[in-house]
Amino acid sequence: MTVEAKICGLSTPETLEAAVRFGARFVGFVTFPKSPRYVSTETMRALGGLVPKTVTRVGLFVDPDDALLDERLAKEAAQK
């Protein structure tokens, strides 16, 4: 059985690098402003740019509306 790990709440290049180095298959970014792990859109983009192609980026949203999800997905598609 293969186990794949997701590390969520990353907010600095150092924590992102450690998660990837130690085998995270998925890395998550918290977009909910009330969370202590919240990262701005700019920070999320900067950190997302550091993620290797072998690791999947994940966004955590709380009660997002369709417009917000459409915007984020369109930006993601444009970066590929």
- Give CA–CA dist 54/17, Å, rounded: 13
pTM value surpassing 0.85: no
* Cβ–Cβ under 8 Å, residues 36 and 60: no
User: What pLDDT, in 10s, does the model give residues 8-56?
Assistant: 999 999 999 999 999 999 999 998 999 999 999 889 889 999 999 999 9
Q: Is 80 exposed, middle or buried (0-12, 13-18, 19+ CB in 10 A)?
A: exposed
Residue boundaries of the structural domains of the chain = 6-79
For the domain spanning 6-79, the CATH number is 3.20.20.70
7 in Cβ contact with 19 (< 8 Å): yes
